[in-house]
Chains A and B, each alone.
Chain A
Amino acid sequence: MFYRETGQFKTTYRADQAVFPILQDRLGIAIILALAFAGVPLLASEFAISSFFIPVLVFSLAAIGLNLLTGYTGLLSLGTGAFMGVGAYGCYKLATWFPGVNILILILASGFVSAAVGVVFGLPSLRIKGFYLAVATLAAQFFLSWCFVRIPWLVNYNISGAIEVPTRTLFGIPVTGPNATATTRYLVALSIVVLMTWLASNLVRGRFGRMWMAVRDMDLAAELIGIRLYRTKLLSFAVSSYFCGVAGAMMVFLWFGSSEADTFNINQSFFILFMVIIGGLGSLVGSFFGAIFIWGTPIMLKAVPPLFGLTIPAATVEHLTFMILGALIIFFLIVEPHGLARLWQIGKQKLRVWPFPY
């Protein structure tokens, strides 16, 4: 209905293969970006920013990471949390070793640590498939989270056994640590996420994306057109873990400010997996939807009862949240197994052919 595609024709393949070939989409994304960069910092409260926007950014990135592996390459992983952890601890160590280096660089660099670890734990994927692989990744999850607890070296032997994020500045403004404002941390996080989402979309639309999807859809045929399965899978593990690692680093440095050892436990992994599934396997935008939905719903649920003047004990709300979340997950799987992304697509298609039904 809002789409006016008549007269939008392409004279080059370059234009034809752009991310947003349709003008209205380009406008839409521009508006969203404007809101994200200007709107939110100006309008949203510190609290809203640090309790909603920053987390959503962090989770979106992690979800994208997992989506690259599970959604695009078809390798189911339950170790996301651990890989995020590696990123976080990696970043912490790097920060202690190179206090001089810009924190942004460190955060991005920490991804490489988890990428390396990811590759190691990706090795089994060469022999095993499906749920067997999923369980294999659990090994990574439990082993790594054990390491986080048991290896005090990781936290510079803090007695608390937790990471305490040092204050680091960017252009003189503190971006991490206790006295960094939520807004600055948000903007930093946002920039990182936007950048990396762009990179991810480049990847998946290009040769590597196609190789991954080929492996996902039919590995035999993929091998037949000359794709080396193990390289492709390992690359996917590496890239995926890189994204998760950066997300983990952001989680600790730009959100929590500190982290207990079990921040990156198995539930974290499940949490991210929900986001990917609900958001939509094999869709970047879906990862955002998933993050917003899974993180947003509980907040909403907590917010709703007071609106009706109801006072429900926190514990009860907690339990209800669990139930409703669980129910919603099942509900969504039933209405649209391909996730919110698909719903979005369908809606968009409807608008494009409006007033026709198809």
Chain B
Amino acid sequence: MAKVPALYGLMAEFETPEQLLEAAQRSRDDGYRRMDAYSPFAVEGLPEIVVSSHDKVPLAGIVLCGGLTGTLTGLVLQWYPNVVGYPLNIGGKPYFSWPSFIPIMFELTILFSALSAVFGMIILNDLPQPYHPVFNAPRFDLASRDRFFLCIETRDPKFDIDRTKDFLIGLDPVDVTEVES
């Protein structure tokens, strides 16, 4: 049985980032909240316009926690064997000769922070997500090349297929298409 695909949103295509910025700003001014913009590179100022919710834990916070965990891991990793696990007299140095533990604590801090940053970014971005409705947009492959897209999603309370389409056309895009869910 052929199922009529549901609609994900309406996608407007622009040629320049400036146009996209302006279009996004106007959509927001018009009361649209559930939308997203797609660009081949990071366009300055765009997220502030299209993103309505903020992360509960910012990436920097995750990285800070990761880093502190790394420091602590480095300390415990060296303290435990040297003081508790198997203390040895190495060159007459004290068991807890902390100055020589600094390099590893530092390296683990960096390692944990960096991994937190990358995995934090990937997880917060909800990746990997090889399938996404926006890929259904016929010319969306240009989003990674030279075109700029604004998508107003159907879940936006203000979304109305006709009105929104008209609104988008009013923004002077190259094209407006319906994106299947």
Determine if chain A interacts with chain B.
no
Q: A-contacting residues of B (Cβ < 8 Å)?
A: none
